[in-house]
């Protein structure tokens, strides 16, 4: 084996830790629930997820989230 082959094997091994174990998630809420089973999905978070999906798909260029405090806006959009 050469150094390049060993390095490639190490890098590929490390990259497997970042693979999505469940496939592609359709919404940020699905990703949150997959990564943290204690995540609670509320109707407010469903609305945020729908808006974030629109942004990701290019259907919405700008997004302002305006909801009462403690709805989970910051957690959902920053993680």
Number of domains making up the chain: 1
Identify the burial level of 45 via C-beta atoms within 10 angstroms of its C-beta, where 0-12 means exposed, 13-18 middle and 19 or more buried. Answer: buried
- At residue 16 the predicted structure's pLDDT band, cuts being 50, 70 and 90, is low
3-state secondary structure of 69: coil
> What's the pTM value of the predicted model, to 2 decimals?
0.65
Domain containing 12 equals 3-78
pLDDT of residue 75: 82
- HSE value, Cβ hemisphere, 13 Å, CA-based, for 5: 2
- Dump pLDDT digits (tens) for 17-72: 666 555 588 888 888 888 888 888 999 999 999 999 999 899 988 989 888 888 88
């Amino acid at each position: 084996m050469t150094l390049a082959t060993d390095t490639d094997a190490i890098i590929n091994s490390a990259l497997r830790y970042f693979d999505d174990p469940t496939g592609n998630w359709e919404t940020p809420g699905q990703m949150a629930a997959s990564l943290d089973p204690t995540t609670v999905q509320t109707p407010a978070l469903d609305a945020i997820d729908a808006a974030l999906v629109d942004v990701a798909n290019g259907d919405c260029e700008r997004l302002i989230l305006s909801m009462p405090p403690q709805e989970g806006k910051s957690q959902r959009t920053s993680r």
